[in-house]
Chains A and B, each alone.
Chain A
Amino acid sequence: MTQRIPHVRRQPMGMLLHTIAVFLVGVRFAQDVYLRLTDFGGGKISIYIEPFTSEQASVDAVTRVRNIEAVIENDLEYSLYFDILADTAEFADADEGVILQAHETDGQLKTVLLDYASKEQIAVQEYHIGNELRATAHTISDDIIEQLTGEKGIASTKIVFSYRTSAGKELAMVDYDGYNFTRLTNNGRFNLFPAWAPDQNRILFSAHSWDRLNIYLFDLSKRDISIISSFRGLNFAPCWSPDGTKICLCLTKDGNAEIYLLDLKTEKLNRLTYNKAIDTSPAFSPNSREITFVSDRAGNPQIYVMDMHGGNVRRLTFHGNYNTSPAWSPRGDIIAYVSREPDNSQQVYVTDPYDFEPVRLTSKGNNEEPSFSPDGLHIVFSSNRSGTYELYTMNWDGSRLRKLSDGVTATAPDWSPISD
């Protein structure tokens, strides 16, 4: 399991030249750009970031561009596609690599990517430096990643979650690197299960009213909340189909928790599960054809997969007697979930959705609620390893743990899609 990154095929040579060629003719065939990324530590693109410069000599102007540089460096390192070199002398070992240069003139930052060996320009871009330096830096990072790898970067993505207050739980979001804490709700209720729409502009979530738990839709651009589902009992655990036309949700109106599919255009509601057991936590496969979910139909909670009409149900987990919280990788080839261990701790596992082979990723404290980054290379989850529940990210293989939240008790993270 630790030996492969799915859908990123090994290409023995010429990756960079190939990428450059694709870029120069101005047509990008994402599926034709391959990385030599076989494990972490080898096969990455070597990049040297020259200190960013400014036309103005003032300390402020220089600090500004150097701050942008620092954010970009962190983004590129985080992306797993790059080896950041401290000096051009390190290129001696690498037969290929790129240099990033940037110079600011009148609030415009011009970036240049150079092929180290040929000194040819690979890409030149100009950016307006506004007030939001971090956002500008993330945009530049994503462009660099796409220009050099053909893959969409995740530097501009966000993570939404619930955090505890004295009255209940409110929703907030942060940038993928933990900066820009932004409060979304402030109603003193329990606001739970936030789920990003594929357009990165809307969030589904559940909140209690006095006699039931409803599902609402938060429109971020309109700053508007509308009600989506308010049947008797519980309306919860919403998730979007990857094409954004349907939502999967959990309702208890028929006596116990069942999974339903709601078509947002026709408003037609289809019941998918018929079982006396609890059926909950639905999550779509990236091709929208299948749904993974939790059911205790076998006596205790286990992970199952069904097609989007509720048929062809198969059980996925067979080890442990308490497996919950499935999340399907956007690359399609792994499902992350949480398993209760014999010592009663809860740990994040990943498994192949067709050939069950679980691999444990966490070990310290309780680790719950995994959610994949849109490139499938990272996982955000909640953990109480520090004594209270906080958010962390790690690579898809469990390496490189980073703490995300700062000082708030946070749960239920959901990683946003990539905005277009």
Chain B
Amino acid sequence: MNYIKKTIPLIIILVLFFGCPKRQTEPEVVEEIPVEEEIPFEEVQLPEPEPEPELPPFVLETVFFDFDKSDIRVDGAEILQRNAEMLQLYPYMSITLEGHCCEIGTAEYNLALGERRALATREYLIMLGISADRMSTISYGEEKPLDPLNLERNRRCEFVAR
């Protein structure tokens, strides 16, 4: 109780000092807000946390194939080179290679072709030094098109972390 009695005068003084002027300046504060320089939304930068592990985010690029083919193309080889480097940065990450096809041909044949694409991709990554037991394969054939209107985009091998 003593403590409260002592602080009451202090509170009164504080209110007298800061309470009244604040009420007067209130309209000015309201005016100031729009005056502040407008920073475009994109340029607002969030404070970066300390980059503890200096690793890029784990992203593997999709590899594309020619019609009815499972050979790794030149552009595919470059992508797999980058994917292999990424996998070496994350040595404990295991992945599933998903083979896909465009809708031309039967679902059966495309399942087999999708698996062939996944296995060809796996072989290539093994050649680049990625351990075979980090990779499993599955084929979805023509069942999961990336873009139903663009057949070339569907002839692919995707990488899914597991």
Contact = CB atoms under 8 A, between A and B. Distances in A.
A301 interface: yes
A346 B109 contact: no
A256 to B, nearest CB: 7
A257 B138 contact: no
Interface of B is mostly: mixed
Given A190-B140, A208-B140, A236 B108 contact: yes
B108 A211 contact: no
Nearest to B96: A211
Contacts of B119: 255-256
A193 B107 contact: yes
A56 interface: no
A317 interface: no
A300 B113 CA distance: 11
Interface in A210-225: 210-213
Contact of B108 (A169, A281, A344): A281
Q: Which among B68, B104, B107, B138 has the highest number of chain A CB atoms within 10 Å?
A: B107
Contacts of A278: 109, 112-113, 116
Interface of A is mostly: strand
Contact of B106 (A169, A213, A255, A294): A294
B108 A280 contact: yes
A53 interface: no
Nearest to A321: B68
B75 interface: no
A95 B108 CA distance: 51
Interface residues of B, number: 20
B112 A324 contact: no
Nearest to A236: B111
A250 B108 contact: yes
Nearest to B141: A192
A213 B136 contact: no
Contacts of A368: 106
B106 A211 contact: no
Interface string A324-344: 110000000000001010001
B109 A301 contact: yes
Contacts of B113: 278
Interface in A63-114: none
A322 B108 contact: no
B56 interface: no
B138 A325 contact: no
A281 B110 CA distance: 11
Nearest to A388: B148
Nearest to A345: B104
Interface in A8-39: none
B105 interface: yes
Given A322-B104, A344-B104, A346-B104, A280 B109 contact: yes
A405 interface: no
Interface string B103-143: 01111110111011001000000000000000011111001
Contact of B112 (A190, A210, A256, A344): A256
Given A208-B138, A211-B96, A322 B115 contact: no
A325 B106 contact: yes
Nearest to B113: A278
Contacts of B111: 213, 234, 236-237, 257, 280
A124 B112 CA distance: 54
Interface string B80-92: 0000000000000
A213 B105 contact: no
A412 interface: yes
Interface of A: 168-169, 190, 192-193, 208, 210-213, 233-234, 236-237, 250, 252, 255-257, 278, 280-281, 294, 296, 300-301, 322, 324-325, 338, 340, 344, 346, 368-369, 411-412
- Going nearest first, the 9 A-B pairs with the smallest beta carbon separation are A257-B112, A278-B112, A324-B106, A237-B108, A280-B108, A281-B108, A325-B106, A190-B143, A280-B112
27 contacts: A168-B143, A169-B143, A190-B143, A193-B107, A210-B138, A211-B138, A212-B138, A213-B111, A233-B137, A234-B115, A234-B139, A236-B108, A236-B111, A237-B108, A278-B116, A280-B112, A281-B106, A294-B108, A296-B68, A301-B68, A301-B109, A322-B68, A324-B108, A324-B109, A369-B106, A369-B107, A412-B107
